[in-house]
């Protein structure tokens, strides 16, 4: 069993330390070995079908990492994206996740999700991939997120969108203005059909 554990441990390390059950099985590691390692404290189960080496440091953003691994086709959006970009004082109690309108409903009990269905064009625009704890996480960029927040202002609150706009147009802690890509912001606003709504607030903020 020690040799089996060592093989599994090496597979986890080569995969960044966090793997889905189906990926583990595809590497030739038996399900019994997986659960034996969990019971022995070698692995931490982050969610159903998702395991991480216990010896590694805790995840900095465990909810985003879990969602990215379990629902790789999704994109972190709205308040969750604002929090990731440090553009809000809101504390997300669920992960806001964008999915195509035709995608199946995800089966994930933790963390809690709030699903937003986007058209194919709106879904594909503005996606960035950020590496969080060695896990690629798809998240909308600041400009697309701002436009989406104004589009969904009736659901998340206009105050949230306005606060995010002030953060975006403010000064970065490291120097320089965040809002240096205003043309990109306006392009996303036009695509989301909120340019006329957003522009007066933007002009008042700059």
Structural domain boundaries, residue 194 = 62-205
Whether pTM > 0.85 for this model: the answer is no
* Residue 66 CB coordination number (10 Å): 22
Instruction: Return d(Cα 44, Cα 156) in angstroms, integer.
Output: 34
**Residues 99, 38 share a domain:** no
Q: pLDDT at position 145, please?
A: 97
**Residues 199, 175 share a domain:** yes
**Residues 86, 14 share a domain:** no
Q: What is the mean pLDDT of residues 108-119?
A: 88
69: nearest Cα among 126, 128, 17: 17
**Residues 48, 87 share a domain:** no
Q: If DSSP states are collapsed to H, E and C, what string results for 147-202?
A: HHHHHCHHHHCHHHHHHHHHHHHCECCCCCECCCCHHHHHHHHHHCCCHHHHHHHH
- pLDDT for 48-86, tens place per residue? 778 888 888 877 788 898 898 888 899 999 999 999 999
149: nearest Cα among 103, 67, 80, 200: 80
Q: Is the pLDDT of residue 154 over 90?
A: yes
**Residues 88, 36 share a domain:** no
Kindly report the average pLDDT of the chain as a whole number: 86
């Amino acid at each position: 069993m020690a040799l089996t554990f060592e093989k599994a441990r090496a597979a986890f390390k080569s995969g960044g330390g966090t793997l889905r059950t189906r990926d583990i099985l595809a590497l030739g590691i038996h399900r019994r070995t997986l659960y034996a390692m969990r019971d022995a404290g070698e692995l931490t189960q982050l969610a159903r079908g998702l395991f991480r080496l216990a010896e590694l440091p805790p995840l900095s953003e465990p909810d985003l990492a879990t969602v990215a691994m379990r629902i790789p086709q999704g994109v972190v959006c709205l308040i969750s994206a604002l929090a990731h970009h440090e553009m809000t004082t809101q504390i997300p109690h669920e992960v806001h996740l964008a999915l195509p309108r035709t995608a199946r409903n995800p089966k994930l009990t933790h963390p809690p999700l709030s699903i937003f269905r986007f058209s194919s064009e709106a879904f594909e625009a503005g996606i960035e991939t950020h590496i969080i704890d060695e896990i690629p996480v798809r998240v909308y960029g600041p400009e697309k997120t701002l436009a989406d927040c104004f589009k969904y202002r009736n659901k998340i609150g206009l105050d949230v969108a306005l606060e995010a706009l002030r953060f975006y147009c403010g000064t970065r802690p490291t120097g320089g203005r965040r809002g240096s890509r205003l043309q990109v912001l306006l392009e996303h606003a036009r695509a989301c059909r909120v340019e006329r709504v957003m522009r007066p607030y933007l002009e008042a903020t700059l």
